[in-house]
């Protein structure tokens, strides 16, 4: 590479999201996303009002049950998290309207966490309901705003353009794009990397579970282990891989026993939470380890915690470098368009899976379809279809604890 070329076209660093500088993006883009974020915050307000009204009904009518304490905790969690999201989205939107990006990343990440908490509590309490769509819309606006105004992304695109002009792609060919330049972790924890980690781990999870079931659980018998309506995806492994990456990114040089122990604890806790969540929200039971060595309420056990530990070691020490190299094989010209398209398809697949599971639960609970969406699911994803698709899962409405 001719050093004079670099001198002629210096790459100026992009302003940091937290340094208070103005974005290289046009003020119009900031104003548009600022207005959308404020609108998203307003859209969450009805969910706060609905939750407070439901809480008031419980106290006025004194409809307490044995599990009412947990239900009340979920109501309070939903009310607080939704209220926080509404206020923080409004604040972030107002700041972007004025072109102020100081601490915008911190506020955006806090809103994202609040939305995840609110979405989970809402789903546990009411199943699939209109309130989820408001929260989902707010999340989509937040993601779009983050991708658009995040200077690190615009900086990466500028780097790509100049590297193409200089006809050099050594970094991409070596698979070093996406590495954490600070050295504190192994990879950059951005949406691009985490999304492809989720997708690839979801597919790998289906393959691993299918092989394990054929060879160990029921020799010679294949069982569909997918967790979404369409495609060979098991989201529990996808989310587990993302969680492992977030937790272990800074442990990539740690001794193997340390990585194993951290992975075992995190994996076991994650497996326990997913099992509890599915049963509470849908009365769904996908695994039961009751009677096995050191099991915890049948939701996880010693053997599978050890498996999570081993997977964590393989993931951090071997899989992440190979995965990063594979993801960097995506042509630069299509890098973000392919990711955006695949993300939209995965979001649609996940949303329809939740809807289909909720309708399956309602049918087994004896409720007849009362709207066009439920009628569509009853026709396209009837009980037999769902049983064949989710072979390892069974729905028991009496086991669910949600309010509707």
Same domain membership, residue 358 and residue 238? no
In a domain, 21, yes or no: no
Contacts of 169 (CB under 8 A, 6+ apart): 163, 332
Q: Is residue 165 part of a domain?
A: no
Instruction: Over range 157-177, report the average pLDDT.
Output: 53
Of 329, 356, 390, the domain-final residue? 329
Backbone φ and ψ for 269, nearest 5 degrees, come out as -65, -40
In whole angstroms, give the CA distance from residue 122 to residue 74.
8
Residues 145 and 229 in one domain: no
Residues contacting residue 253 through CB under 8 Å, at least 6 positions apart: none
| Pair 204, 325 in one domain | yes
Across 230-239, 240-249, 298-307, least confident range: 240-249
pTM above the 0.75 mark?
no
Listed in sequence order, the residues at least 6 apart from 324 whose beta carbon sits closer than 8 Å to its beta carbon are 175, 177, 178, 179, 187, 193
Q: What SS3 class is residue 187?
A: strand
Look at the chain and report how many structural domains it folds into.
3
For 44-83, the pLDDT digits (tens) are: 888 788 788 877 776 676 555 555 677 788 888 988 998 9
36: CATH = 1.20.120
In this structure, are 144 and 236 located in the same domain? no
SS3 179: strand
- Residue 260 pLDDT exceeds 90: yes
Cβ–Cβ under 8 Å, residues 330 and 305: no
- In a shared domain, residues 203 and 306: yes
Domain's final residue, options 94, 125, 149: 149
User: What pLDDT is recorded for position 167?
Assistant: 42
Cα 214 from Cα 227, distance rounded (Å): 18
183 in a domain, yes or no?
no
Residues 241 and 324 in one domain: yes
CB-based contact 273:266 (threshold 8 Å): no
The verdict on residue 182 lying in a domain is no
Residue 315: closest CA among 197, 232, 225:
197
Q: Is the same domain home to 313 and 371?
A: no
Distance CA 352, CA 24 (A): 38
Instruction: Note whether residue 1 is domain-resident.
Output: no
Task: Decide if 94 is inside a domain.
Answer: yes
Domain housing 108 = 28-149
Please report the pLDDT score of residue 272 as a whole number: 93
The verdict on 70 and 123 lying in the same domain is yes
Query: Per residue in 320-362, pLDDT tens?
Result: 888 877 777 777 677 778 888 899 899 999 989 988 998 999 8
In a domain, 223, yes or no: yes
Domain boundary among 329, 353, 381: 329
CA distance 165 to 187: 26
Strand-pair partners of 300: 296
314 and 241, same structural domain?
A: yes
pLDDT in tens, 272-301: 999 998 888 888 888 889 989 989 989 999
Please name the residue that has the structure tokens 């404020």.
38
Q: Is residue 395 domain-shared with residue 325, that is, in the same domain? A: no
Q: Look over the chain and give the mean of its residue pLDDT values, rounded to a whole number.
A: 79
Q: What residues contact 97, with CB distance under 8 A and at least 6 apart?
A: 30, 31, 34, 35, 38
Contact 121, 77 (CB under 8 A): yes
Q: Are residues 111 and 233 in the same domain?
A: no
Q: Is residue 356 part of a domain?
A: yes
> Is residue 306 predicted with pLDDT exceeding 90?
yes
Query: Are 324 and 208 found together in one domain?
Result: yes
DSSP H or E run through 285? strand 284-285
- Token pair 């594979």 is found at 326
The encoded tokens of residue 369 equal 């379809």
């Amino acid at each position: 590479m001719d050093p004079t070329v670099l001198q002629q076209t210096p790459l100026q660093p992009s302003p940091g999201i937290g340094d208070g500088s103005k974005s290289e993006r046009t003020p119009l883009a900031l104003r548009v996303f600022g207005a959308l974020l404020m609108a998203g915050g307003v859209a969450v307000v009805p969910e706060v009002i609905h939750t407070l009204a439901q809480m008031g009904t419980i106290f006025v009518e004194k409809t307490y049950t044995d599990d009412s304490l947990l239900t009340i905790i979920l109501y309070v969690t939903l009310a607080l998290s939704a209220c926080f999201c509404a206020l923080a989205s409004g604040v972030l939107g107002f700041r972007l309207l004025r072109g102020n990006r100081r601490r915008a990343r911190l506020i955006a990440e806090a809103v994202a966490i609040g939305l995840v908490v609110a979405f989970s509590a809402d789903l546990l309490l009411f199943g699939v309901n209109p309130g989820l769509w408001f929260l989902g819309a707010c999340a989509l606006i937040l993601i779009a705003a983050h991708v658009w105004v995040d200077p690190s992304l615009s900086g990466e695109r500028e780097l790509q353009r100049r590297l193409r002009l200089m006809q050099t792609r050594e970094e991409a060919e070596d698979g070093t794009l996406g590495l954490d330049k600070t050295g504190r972790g192994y990879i950059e924890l951005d949406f691009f990397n985490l999304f492809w980690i989720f997708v690839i781990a979801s597919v790998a999870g289906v393959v691993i579970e299918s092989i394990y079931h054929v060879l160990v659980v029921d020799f010679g018998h294949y069982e569909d282990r997918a967790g979404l309506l369409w495609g060979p995806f098991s989201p529990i492994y996808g989310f587990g891989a993302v969680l492992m990456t977030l937790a272990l990114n800074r442990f990539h040089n740690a001794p193997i026993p340390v990585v194993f122990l951290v992975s075992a604890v995190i994996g076991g806790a994650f497996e326990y939470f997913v099992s509890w969540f599915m049963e509470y929200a849908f009365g769904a039971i996908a695994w039961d380890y009751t009677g096995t060595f050191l099991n915890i309420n049948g939701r996880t056990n010693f053997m599978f915690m050890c498996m999570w530990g081993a997977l964590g070691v393989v993931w951090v020490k071997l899989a992440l470098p190979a995965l990063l190299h594979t993801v960097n094989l995506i042509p630069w010209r299509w890098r973000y368009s392919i990711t955006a398209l695949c993300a939209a398809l995965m979001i649609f697949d996940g949303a329809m899976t939740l809807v289909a599971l909720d309708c399956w639960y309602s049918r087994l609970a004896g409720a007849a379809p009362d709207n066009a969406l439920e009628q569509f699911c009853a026709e396209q994803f009837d009980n037999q279809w769902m049983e064949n698709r989710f072979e390892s899962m069974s729905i028991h409405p009496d086991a669910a604890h949600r309010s509707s």
